[in-house]
Structure 1
Amino acid sequence: MKFLKILIYFEISLPIFTLTSSIFHQQSSTTSISTAIVSICEEFFINNSIKFDFIMYGEHSRHLSDVINGVLKKYPKNSSIIIRDMKNFGNWNHILNDSAVIFVKNSTYVHNFNRHAKFKNLYPKHLKILFYIEEPTAKILTKFSEFTTDIPSIITSEYFIINSKKFLQLFTVNHFADGICNQITPTTLNIFFKTSRKWKWELKNHRKFLNFHQCPLTILESYGGALNIESLNLELFACLKAHKSQFCHDLRRNLTKAPNLKLRGLTYELFELMAKTANFTPKYEFLPLSSKNKSEIYVKIWRIPFNTDDPFMHLLMPIYPYEYIIVTTPSEYYTNYEKLLLPFDVTTWILIIIAFLTSFLMISLMEIFHKLSNLRSLHSSFVNVIQVIFGNSVKRPPRKVLQRVVMILFIFLCLIFRTCYQNKLFEFITDEMRKPPPRDLDDLFARSYNIVSYLEPRMFFLLKQKLMPRKKNKTVHVDNQHKVLKFFCANYEDSTAKLGFFMPKSVLGYTNTMCGSPATILKNFKFVDDSMNFGITRNSILYESLSEVIEKLNPSGIIQYLINYDSWVTYDKFDSAVTKVPRILTFNDLSFGFVLWLAACGISVVGFAVEMTEYKMRIAIKNMIGVVVFLSSVKWRFL
């Protein structure tokens, strides 16, 4: 009977004990999981001043409130937390603006997130995503490569906390683990034991490794970009652009094996430095991205706007302002009639005419006021001025000393001007000279130049949106760069063609090579497109790694030296065509003659004042004498 009571008591107590222990175990498990996630948030986000969101997808997670309370309790002021509860996948656009801790039920949610999520800011924010997955570890590892293939390019790193009975595993993905190139491999960063609530190793902010184990990185480059080639003849030029032979195909596949070619430029110099630091093998190619094996990882340099949403590219860093220039055909030649007015500029011609007219008026006025009764003095003064201008002798020199001084100064003035004019005119007539090239963009359009460009999307946008909206000049587009160069060079010697070639500055060397002579650059035109960036394609694992390499190179000043456009050694150091502009005389060249003219003006003014004063005094004295004589005659009559 006593045994029966004990058995009944045990049967009643066992479910209660089991339920109590289960509840205690769940609470303990929940507490340990929240402790682990809070410690990761502290190390990965809060200590690095990274803003982050708490997001839950699917069913409500019992750990979310504990984690949020733990973070807010520990860091009430240093954390910026936005809580989102997304129960479906219908509203993925613009759901993230910062890094995030995401609670999901299974790996399906991770896969959908990586495939469909979009973000507000693509540049320059670099996001980190931490997933807590309640699905058991064994099931996740079998599908790891599936849901980590399409990681959004803006995400620097994705981390995964995977739950199991006794511990939590913190994972990430690598593409170069133990030298296995281009293969996604799950890597365990740390293990958290639920019973002791401790990490197996010290929890540290994980940074991607910099050793690529000599794995090849394909550097894709477009023709005319930042990767430059010296000793490029026309045959190799056509070879890079066309698909004609196996040799050309092999050349485009690997430029480093091309004979007699030397790679230079920003892409080459920078990636050679980065290859030594990060231990990878750079392979330079001119092939388009679509023709390559999807399993490879590429680094491409291209003119990508900072805020672009390109699904194939992951922006790494701005490289340099991409400078565009306008190359024009040589200007027209001067005709002999146009050369008659070339020796002096417009201002000097106006001053010379003013000087001659002023001298003529001064001499004439002095003649008139010296002999008021002689009206022919005006004619004689005009004849004297004309005689002096043409270098003849003065037939009727002035009789007064003051007038002769003014005439001598005027003769010196004419001698200086006439000698300068004759010498410059002889120089211009005996030499063929072109008119000055257009000064700026407005002058280019005022002379009815047509703009030539090739059909590259970014250049087409710049032409239509930035340069041509207020102009009526025709824009000629040719299929590709090689054709537009041939078209431009075919009309290069035709001075009536009036063509302006809008192109990147890096293409100037090819233009000079194909045209056979240095090109004429529009000097006062400089258009800089601040959109040249490194782009990483296909996989974002390179993003943080290459960023760290650049951060290490920055303090040395190497990056700043390389991104300086003018430091690109010899390739872009082609001189512009020197148009022989005639040396036109200006006011500064004839300043001595104008000093003589001012002296003559001063003497004339003084002389004119003296003449007027003398004339008035003579009239006054004459009147006084007349009055005295009249009064004297009247007096004698009365006497």
Structure 2
Amino acid sequence: MSNYISNFYKSTISILILSTSVLSKIAPQPVRKPAIAQPLNDLIDKLFVQKGTHFDIILYGGYFFEATDVIDEFPSLTGLKYAEKIIVTSPSWNHIMSKSAILFFPHLRFFMKFSLQVKLQRLYHNPLRFIVYCANMQVNDLQMISKPFYLNMSPGQITLYEYFLIQSQIGLELITFEWFTETECNYPMIISMNFFNTNLMRWKNELIIPEKFRNFHGCMLTIGVTVGRMHTALDEKNRPAGPSIDLFKAMATLGNFTWNYQLMVNDMYRGMVGVPRNGRIIDIQIYFQVPRVAFSRITDIMHLTTPFIEERVSFVLTEAEPYSSYEKLLLPFDTLTWIFCLTIFLCAFTCIFVINLTSPSMQNLVYGQKVTTPALNVIGIYFGSSQIKLPFENFPRIILVTFILFCLVLRTAYQGVLFEMVAGDMRKPLPKVIDDLYKMNYTISVGEDLEESLNETISFERSYQKILRLYQNHFPTSGGFLKEDLYSFISGFMMFHFHFLFELTDVTVQALITGGIIQHSFAMEEFSMNHAIYAESITVLNTKQKPKVLTVDDLSYGFTLWLVALMITLIVFLLELTAFHLGMRSYKILRHRVCKKV
């Protein structure tokens, strides 16, 4: 009996175990999402999807646990809208990377080997953005590898490894390199940009990737000024001057850094066709110089330094044509102000003409018997001549006083601005956009290396322009020759492309516009390297400021005062006229009654 009961219990337990195992197989298992899937998805959306940037997913060293799960999870998160392909590589892989990518490494040694093998190809119009995840990498590891990076790679390459996801106990830390911090200048520092809590599944900072370069923390930066190409001039003390220097000074104030310049003279362009032998053609080359980085050629802008990289299409502009004497007479006022003033005088002459058609009694009421040439008086009042014959009645006298006040305001403003224009060397503004050059039928000749960058610009204007390719062997750098017969003085430049590590927010852009440094006529897009800004075709204003042209708004107070005085005068005149007619009527009635009694 005991054996029977024992066997029964054993059978029951076996059935329960079997049922439990079957149910566990049938029941759906909870899907384990990888810890880095959500933060990586947020970074992809911020860096790639929102910017329309295509990227690759690179598994260096083959598949491993985190990378495999993340890739399986991606389609449900982003759909890989901008993902081009998934590349699985071996440690012997040696490739030139010219596209943004997400990089997975199963071990730190793979990442170290990759950093020594890979060659990065940066394109100005195709900036590279990288998100790096290395299994089991710690912040200390990143501190350790920053020094080999700094010694073996140029600063421009080190910062292209932009964002590192570092695993910690409760989440993922977003790490990057910065060159300018509160403690170090011109040295790569490890900076924690954000933190993703895997328990709460959210970022500490909702911006995900905050702006990196708020300012340069007062660091000293060097400007290299190359004399030889053509943009700006030296002042009387042989210091660089011009619109680009003004722009740089404004950015130094906004970006909180101090600056110095290094002057490099190059007379290689003297004696060329169209270049004056007695003058210098100057181009200003602005970049932030890292002292530890050596460079072989001044024109090798690509590898000068990380903080500032610039490329521009250069056009030479001669000194602007001066205004003629007749043009200066019209310059003090803008068109709308001239129309307003002429309208006032036209109304005055029209009123005089209409009043002359009325009865002599009405003319005596308005002009008075002494005034015989009212139209000539209007012209004399504007030029400030004294009025010998004044109207007899109060109303025309008040009208005359208000008109004298109006002409005084107008004449004083006009003469003040006209004096500044006549005394100064006022010149017509230089063209600020390429379209103006086309309209002026300039002949543009460029070096061979600029032909590709100008193709889109000149393709629709080939019928108006003759694009020459000169000095391909002796003049490989960018430059342009415009109207050789007008070379007398180089005073400005136009249209350039900037890549710089400066945060052009709405506030800083507005500050530059308000300060008269730039015009709001450029397109900005975020440039990947160190979260910089790529500003295309910034138009720098001419530093030679001309006197302010007066507008209607500037004269509005004087005009308002005159109009108020005119309205008060009109009201008083109507009241006076009404009282006069009522008084005359009462006088006639009273006189009639007196005569009737008599």
CA radius of gyration, larger in:
1
- TM-score for both structures, normalised by structure 2: 0.45
- TM-score for both structures, normalised by structure 1: 0.42
Which of the two has greater helix per residue? 1
